[in-house]
Every structure is written in structure tokens, then in C-alpha cells.
Amino acid sequence: MSQDETWTIGRLLNWTKDFLQERGAESPRLDAEVLLAHARGCKRIELYTAFEEEAPQELRDAFRELVRRRASGTPVAYLVKMREFYSLEFEVTPDVLIPRPETELIVVGVTDHAKATGRSAEPLTIVDVGTGSGVLAVCLTKHLKDARVTALDISPQALAVAKRNAARHGVADRIAFVESDLFAAAPSDARFDYVVSNPPYITTAEMAGLPNHVLNHEPRLALDGGADGTSVIERLLPQAAARLKPGGRLFMEISPMLADRVDALVRRTPGLEPEAMILDLERRPRIATARKTVEQA
């Protein structure tokens, strides 16, 4: 960005789009708009009425630094410290995985199932295993008004982010946050209507082939599922079975490539019976679901 030229908002966007495109960004125009809106302190849509405005030096300096970091691979969500999920804004930091749209299918699945089965006299109990930024715990608490949610995560830094997100959306009083490796530190007598989780499911071999903005910036702990991609899933399934109420449900995000293996693991887990996988927008199995069998309660 030359210092001796007049830079309007529109010109900044066009230059940055081309710059990021040359460096392999998947959505260069969107990245440019999000970063400039953040630097300017406005909503992205407001840029469209400001194309002809001259960008002051202070704004250009702040924007240039954001663009430099984006070009080096830092994800936009970490640069602006925010990501939208299920129509809500969530704080994200490098301590947590950036929420993906596919994970919203868990919110849809649980809320649809809860509403279809009707209300009980007792509040719904839900546990989010590996809560990360807290998107599942927060969204389920907001959309199921009688729910009481427990959010578990092995990372105290991730739990701190999740707590701030719960406070941001006014549901902190209905979520219990527990630092825990899966269910290890959860209250021993707690039983749940729903277990939800987005566990790590990328194989260790696949990790090396991930794009730079994922491999070198997002927490490996939330991505690496071991040699087969199921090391955490294999530990989670029997623990989930032990903590579900009879007839309770498990909703767990998986890689479509692991669908058959996960189905077999569920079938081998005493107390769990697999149900239909939820498909993503590309019609691939994305959310594994299972029911706690009553006879093995």
C-alpha cells in the first residue's frame, strides 16, 4: 500500500482482495471486508456505503497489520477475535478451535429431538464434552430454556473463553464449567439426557496435510484424533454410555471418512445403540447419534 496515494475504502478493499488472492486465500474479498470493518470499528455492510470515503492513515496502518498477519496464515477469526455460530457472535482465541458451520447440526439435532419428545417435569440435562469456545453449550442453553448444561474441557484456557461467551449471551447461570479430561472430573453421580461433543477426529497422518492456517494456528489438541482418528472417540463412547440416562442420546461430530468405523465402535459399546447419522449439506455423514439402551441402564 503506497503511502503517497489517496486510498479510499473501496480501493483498499480491491487492492487487498487481489493481494490475498495471490497468496492463496480461499475467500480473499470476504477476508478483506471483515478485516477492514474490524479495523474501522463498523459492521461489514457499512463498508458498502463508504467506498468513496478516504481512509485515514491510522486506519490504513491498523488494516495493513491485519492484512500482513492474514497473508502469513493467521485465520481471520483469530485476528478479529470473533466468529458467528448459529446466528450468535462468539469470542475465539488461539486457545480454541474456530467453530465450523457443520457443528451447528448438533444444535439442530438436539433441539429438534428435545422438542419432538416433549417436556418433562425435570429440566433437561446436557453435557458438552470438549466445549472449546462453548458454542454448543451456549446455543443449547439459549434455545432450550429449561436445560441445565455442563461444559467439560481439558484446557483451562478454553474454559475461560467459554465462560466469557456464556456471560456474553446471558446463560452463564445455567452452565457449569468443569476442567476435565472427558468425564474424569465430572460429578460422579451426574446423569444426562444428552451428551454432545465435537472431539478431535483428524488422523495424525492427515494432520501434516492440513492448510497452514489450521495446522499452525488452531490448537492441535482439538484436532488430532490419533493414528486412526478415533483415539478420543474410543475413550468417549463408553464414558458417554455410563453417563447417559436410559433413553438418552449422544450427538457427536465425526469425519465422514470415519462413519463406518464410528458406527462399528458404537455397536461394540455396551449400553449404546446407533441411530441414523445426520448428513451435512454435501450429504455426507457428519453427526453420529446413538441412544442409551434402557435394558442396560
Give the tens place of pLDDT for each residue, 231-284.
999 999 999 999 999 999 999 999 999 999 999 999 999 999 999 999 999 999
Is 24 annotated as contributing to ligand binding? no
- Report the pLDDT value the prediction gives residue 60, as an integer from 0 to 100: 95
- Report the pLDDT value the prediction gives residue 296, as an integer from 0 to 100: 43
The pLDDT tens digits of the residues spanning 48-71 come to 999 999 999 999 999 999 999 999
> What is the CA angle 155-177-131, rounded to 5?
55
Is 130 annotated as contributing to ligand binding? yes
Q: Can you tell me the mean pLDDT for 101-107?
A: 97
Asked whether 192 and 125 are in contact (CB, 8 A), the reply is yes
Enumerate residues 6+ apart whose C-beta is below 8 A from 40: 9, 47, 59, 63
250: left (phi over 0), alpha (psi -120 to 50) or beta: beta
Is 270 annotated as contributing to ligand binding? no
Is 132 annotated as contributing to ligand binding? yes
Is 246 annotated as contributing to ligand binding? no
Is 153 annotated as contributing to ligand binding? yes
Is 103 annotated as contributing to ligand binding? no
Query: In 3-state terms, what secondary structure has residue 274?
Result: strand
Question: Could you tell me whether strands 272-279 and 192-197 are parallel, antiparallel, or unpaired per DSSP bridges?
Answer: unpaired
Is 201 annotated as contributing to ligand binding? yes
- Report the pLDDT value the prediction gives residue 216, as an integer from 0 to 100: 87
Is 86 annotated as contributing to ligand binding? no
Is 134 annotated as contributing to ligand binding? yes
How many Å from the N-terminal Cα to the C-terminal Cα in the chain?
65
Flag whether pLDDT at 297 surpasses 50. Answer: no
Helices (H), the chain: 9-22, 28-40, 57-71, 76-80, 104-117, 135-143, 156-168, 204-207, 212-215, 231-243, 259-267
Q: Can you tell me the mean pLDDT for 134-161?
A: 97
Q: Does domain 93-296 have CATH number 3.40.50.11540?
A: no
So where are the chain's domains? 9-72, 93-296
CA dist., res. 112 & res. 163, Å (int): 25
Strand order in the sheet with 175-179: 175-179, 148-153, 125-129, 192-197, 244-253, 285-292, 272-279
